[in-house]
Chain A
Amino acid sequence: MTAIPAPAHVEHEPAHRHGHGHAKLTFVQKYLFSTDHKIIGIEFLFLGLAFFVVGGLLAMLVRWQLAWPGRPIPWLATYLGWPGGSMPPEYYNQAFTMHATLMIFFVIIPILVGAFGNYLIPLMIGAEDMAFPFLNGMAFWMALPAGAIMVAAFFFPGGPAAAGWTSYPPISSTFPSGVQYQGHEPYVGVIPLVPPKTDWDKIIFALRLKGSAIQTVDKTDLQATPQGLVAPFTGEKSQVLEAVREALIARNYVLIPSEVDGIVMGQSVAMSGDAAAPARHAKVTVAADTLTILADDGADLFDRIKAELNWQSSWPAISIVGVTAALLLCFLYICTYHISLGFRPLNWIVSLLLSGGGAFYAVKGVQYMVFDGQSAWFFSLFLAGFANIMGSINYLTTVVKLRCPGMTMFRMPLSVWAIFITSIMVLLATPVLAATLFMNLLDHHRLTSFFLPYNWSYDKGIQNVSGGGYPLLHQHLFWFYSHPAVYIMILPAMGMVSDIISVNSRKPVFGYRPMVYATASIAFLGFIVWAHHMFQSGLNPTLGTTFAISTFFIAVPSAIKTFNWMGTLWGGNIRFNTANLNAIAFVSMFVVGGLSGIYMASTAIDVHIHATYFIVAHIHYVLFGASMFGIFAGIYHWYPKMFGKMMNERLGKFHFWISFIAFNCTFFPMHILGIHGMPRRVAEYANYSSFAHFRGINVFITYSAFVMGSAQLLLAINFIGSMIFGPRAPRNPWDATTLEWQTSSPPPHGNFPTPPVVFHGPYEYASPLVDEDFLLQTRFVDGAVAAVH
């Protein structure tokens, strides 16, 4: 135990911490483009909950298809114009891909890390705000365009990404091979072998490679003749011919010297040397002042360039509007804090002009990078990764530097510890994801082949990139991020649940320090287990064993945490309010999800259950059963602090019980499907005789999922209704000890009227030193120091 800070040291910290003048803040700065961690946290919460709705509806679509494949979905089928009303398989692929992507990257991570991390850290450690408030806001306003690009992809021709949330190349870095969909362009092949469109395109393309020649031919003077296209030119004939010759050579025409002379002589030249295929010839004829060209190559490339440089590109208007708006807000946020010309209307005009221009060019840039759903997926997550990194730097600095007097590291609540450790993981892992996504994006643009090997071919197109890449490299890099991401998605929930269970059991957390060490060791081990997702991927089997062993070890700290939660409940005086019910459900469901993880940790068992519904069951037990119930618990627990109103307990309990029962009915049967080998990500499993008899159980699962989805309406009603009709929340409705409950609900700007001073650990419930069953962290009692070990 470090030295306990003396009160004298505290008085050293005068009240001028509040001296930076909140009065100057405009309305926009206060509530929209706020740098206050509480507002940003709530913005992240709203962002996450909005995407929760979208992601949840996508899950309902997926479930519909699995229960009743081919049956038209009422209203939606006609609206989307599906052929025959039934869901096309590519739409199914898109639906589950986007469901997973949105839920992971835009629901769980933003809510757990963005919302609760932001809201709780400064309040719980007694800081007045984050270390870098502007950067904190930037993290949110960067996450917004990321989300907008992801959503914009829904409206693209061809739809959003359909390669699964793991986006393994080559399926993600090449285009899916062609099926006509919804009247759009077929979404074909590696090389679309399309015939050139207009002859004018051919000429321009041939000549634009040599800039000087372009001026010699004018479009208005172009004439189509039976011999080809004829254009008068001005200037020296030899210059024009030289330009044409170089342009053609640059296009890989094979020109032998006599044929070059042929051009100069004004004779037609067979460019390919293949007399049997006249349609593919390029004919160049030059009279005294007239250039005649019939070129046939490069038009396809020209079309591509033209399409990508086009303002509209392949983007429909709604996507452009959405992404532009998000980028405009992002730039406006920057301008709000960096344009200060001394006169407010002038500030506004300049800000709007700058942001408008910035957004215009940013959208053009984004359009150039994002030409279909898959590239939108890459680029959106690339941006979201930046937002995560900004946030995590902020959290780390805040926790290290801004703890209030007396708040030693080991007096921090476990929520703060969990988010602190999570931030380290985000900081270390996310750059790897960014690199992976960018490489894959380049592959997708057909510029590189980081992940594309030699010697593959599609049915309607052959490999036109150099090859030599390695598909498993992407899996290694992706899981190097995404396995830690699994813990990024659960550690904060673990911390919050520890707090909530302790508060509501009226008992200290069982083994506070072991909990911290367990969290840290999960974080460490989380970095060396990534290849357990790749046991069956062609990985070296011995390497598989290595990762299996490290994976088994990660079960140990998980077990410690579970038993410690149960130890916390032991001997308590447990209040069953909604928050605690959700927290206990977290523990219970985490046990199921953790135990099913042992199956796939074993290389031997994983052979059978890898990529089956067993995995689906496992991930949902961990990510919905644990993380999502943890989020619910956090919402019910901290809602009074966030919005100053109490939530309706009765409605909350209805929401909990319906969700909990329907959740188990939905996902528990999936274990059995998986044990029988039913593959995930399959739109029509009844094609396989082994799985055809699973129709009935899938219908049951779908009904359960619908109930579970509808139950979230109760949360929405409770959430919005309580804001309006809820009774005012007292300062400390749960009789909790931690700092956030010792300021008003909601806390003012600056959080604490006077800087708090901490004398105890965070979990002094049932303390023998005081009459009440809780001892506030700020309350000074003789002997308490000794009681905290």
Chain B
Amino acid sequence: MLCTLAQLSPLPFANWSDWWLNVNYAEHGKSMDGVFYFVFWLTTFILVATQAVLIWFLIKYRFRADRKKGIYSHGNTRLEMTWTIIPAIILIVLAVWSRRVWDNYRYSATADDPNAPKILVIGEQFQWNVLYGGPRNKLGRYLLYPKVTDLKWPTVPDGQTFNFPNVPGPAYLPEQQALAALDDYISQINPLGRDYDDPDTNPDPTGQDAALAKLNDRNNALGRVLVLPKNRAVEIQLGSRDVIHDFFLPNFRTKLDVVPGMRGKLYITADSDCPGPKLYTLVELQQLVDRGKDVMAIVNKNTPGAELYSTGRRRPKFWRLTKDGETFLVNGTFITADVIKNARAAGISKITATMTYDLVCEELCGIGHSKMQGKVIVLDDATLKEPPYNNYFPPAVPASPAEARPAVLGATQR
């Protein structure tokens, strides 16, 4: 029944999803849409019926001088009981149904899966930071900031320099000086409050992979596109550096406030219908761009026509699409009309790209609130094996029941 309801959009014209519920790509979202459509048709029916009856009454019982008096009635208890009990029954059904759908979303089975990739999203004014668990699937401790009352200075990571005043800790300084020193430390070294004493925050403990070591660097994390693996449940943890933000993925039926001092947890599985990276023809891309969609180029060794770019030993290597030796498309570029024009000029007819979805901040977070947007992409396994995404998630391990964690809160709720 749910599927049939979900297909009953009231807007049958082309691109209706631009004017209606965003297309859903989350597995838990299907049942939500089911409730939505049930309520939609129910309320539409009640709305039309009530307004029709109201207007009918208004016409039928409009003032007429020959009708000397209205009907003298103080009510009808049986009738009133009817219109009390029927809504009550409908609402109880709705409440029970909503609860099942809600628990499926918030008490997801993913919570019991120790191999679910972990992603930490930290909101700050007015950017999203995205941190990944890496191959070891460990995030470590973040959002721990030093205070003026600390007896010791915070740890400065290896390879970085920061000179604290020559006392053992901020508590030994006058408040203003301690604040100034710590403020410098936080803004220059450690904006996300990473606990450098926690080995779990280092995704590369062996120190062999320079790219991996920089996985969760501030510069990498800030404004980074949130990558979701296709068809694999992930655990998203939410933290805020300053004020309350709200993590909203319209296409994944996911929303949770990002509250300072609290760690939110969400579990998402991007379903297999979600269009991942694929070869788009330039005509298709042009149509998407015309509709205002953001499409992101995916360039790796599987991409037709891509070549490995490297000049000298010290320069990074990356895959690119070229025209006359000049790079015009690298991984992560957003497709614009210019890119399409260049590609056409270079004789390229197809580009590997992926649709991006909005990450919206829905809670007023200050002056730059409307700038606080992020992007989400969904990648398939093949793309996730290639740089730069190869470090993001642990390899998929088929979970055996013996390894499963003891039941958490959610298990008893279902």
Contact = CB atoms under 8 A, between A and B. Distances in A.
B241 interface: yes
Contacts of B362: 610-612, 679-680
A611 B363 contact: yes
Interface stretch (A49-57, A233-241, A335-343, A567-575): A567-575
Nearest to B32: A604
A587 B53 CA distance: 12
A570 B57 CA distance: 6
A571 B32 CA distance: 42
A729 interface: no
A416 B291 CA distance: 55
Contact of A455 (B35, B94, B145, B244): B145
A512 B77 CA distance: 11
Nearest to A541: B106
A254 B372 CA distance: 43
Contacts of B261: 453-456, 467, 469-471
A555 B31 CA distance: 23
Contact of B70 (A191, A507, A588): A507
A690 interface: yes
B18 interface: yes
A556 B256 contact: no
Interface string A456-471: 1111111110010111
B145 A599 contact: no
Nearest to B244: A168
Given A273-B166, A280-B177, A163 B105 contact: no
Interface stretch (B167-175, B272-280, B386-394): B167-175
Contact of A687 (B32, B99, B371): B371
Interface string B86-125: 0110011011011101110111000000000000000011
Contact of A510 (B18, B58, B75): B75
A284 B100 CA distance: 71
Contacts of B83: 559-560, 563
Contacts of B172: 254, 273
A545 B99 contact: yes
B84 interface: yes
B1 interface: no
Interface residue tally of chain B, by bracket?
35 or more
Given A591-B50, A603-B102, A681-B364, A507 B244 contact: no
Contacts of A587: 54
A272 B87 contact: no
A789 B53 contact: no
A129 interface: no
Nearest to A545: B99
B72 interface: yes
Contacts of B105: 604, 607
A753 interface: no
Nearest to B334: A689
B366 A595 contact: no
A559 B58 contact: no
A768 B70 contact: no
Nearest to A461: B183
A521 to B, nearest CB: 10
Contacts of A134: none
B186 A536 contact: no
B99 A608 contact: no
A457 B61 contact: no
Interface stretch (B201-209, B227-235, B246-254, B304-312): B246-254
B407 to A, nearest CB: 15
B385 interface: no
Interface stretch (B19-27, B132-140, B314-322): B19-27
A472 B70 CA distance: 53
A677 B75 contact: no
Nearest to B258: A538
Nearest to B18: A693
A683 B63 contact: no
Contact of A168 (B68, B363, B370): B363
A455 B144 contact: yes
B338 interface: no
Interface stretch (A104-112, A171-179, A372-380): A171-179
A300 interface: yes
Contacts of B356: 689
Contact of B19 (A536, A676, A683): A676
B264 interface: yes
A88 B253 CA distance: 32
B293 interface: yes
Query: Main secondary structure on chain B at its contact with chain A?
Result: mixed
A723 interface: no
B167 A602 contact: no
B67 interface: yes
Interface in A574-622: 574-576, 584, 587-588, 591-592, 595-596, 598-599, 602-605, 607-608, 610-612
Nearest to A567: B75
A456 B75 contact: no
B259 A472 contact: yes
Given A549-B95, A602-B98, A176 B367 contact: yes
Interface residue tally of chain A, by bracket?
35 or more
Nearest to B356: A689
B370 A687 contact: yes
A767 B125 CA distance: 66
Nearest to A765: B70
B176 A569 contact: no
Given A271-B174, A541-B107, A604 B102 contact: yes
Contacts of A734: none
A544 B102 contact: yes
A272 B294 CA distance: 54
A685 interface: yes
B361 A679 contact: yes
A574 B255 contact: no
B73 A542 contact: no
Contacts of B294: 689
B20 A676 contact: yes
Interface string B283-325: 0000000011110000000000000000000000000000000
A765 B69 CA distance: 8
A512 B20 contact: no
A462 B165 CA distance: 18
Contacts of A576: 58, 62-63
Nearest to A587: B54
Contacts of A743: none
B54 A684 contact: no
Contact of B58 (A274, A507, A574): A574
Contacts of A672: 19-20
Given A508-B74, A584-B58, A608-B253, A300 B176 contact: yes
A300 B283 CA distance: 62
Contacts of B54: 566, 569, 584, 587-588, 591
16 contacts: A93-B367, A170-B244, A177-B367, A254-B172, A272-B165, A456-B260, A461-B183, A463-B147, A511-B75, A536-B246, A560-B83, A567-B75, A573-B64, A611-B363, A675-B20, A789-B74
Given A93-B367, A507-B71, 14 more contacts: A162-B367, A177-B367, A272-B165, A456-B260, A459-B242, A462-B145, A463-B145, A508-B72, A510-B76, A545-B103, A552-B91, A574-B63, A591-B54, A604-B36
Interface of B: 18-22, 31-32, 35-36, 39, 42-43, 46-47, 50-51, 53-54, 57-58, 61-64, 67-77, 79-80, 83-84, 87-88, 91-92, 94-95, 97-99, 101-103, 105-107, 124-125, 143-145, 147-148, 163, 165-167, 172-177, 179-180, 182-183, 186-187, 191, 193, 240-244, 246, 248, 250, 253-257, 259-262, 264, 291-294, 356-358, 360-371, 373, 413
Interface of A: 88-90, 93, 162-164, 168, 170-171, 174, 176-177, 179, 191, 193, 251-254, 271-277, 280, 297-298, 300, 453-464, 467, 469-472, 505-512, 514, 536-538, 541-542, 544-545, 548-549, 552-553, 555-556, 559-560, 562-564, 566-567, 569-576, 584, 587-588, 591-592, 595-596, 598-599, 602-605, 607-608, 610-612, 672, 675-677, 679-685, 687-690, 692-693, 763, 765-768, 773, 789
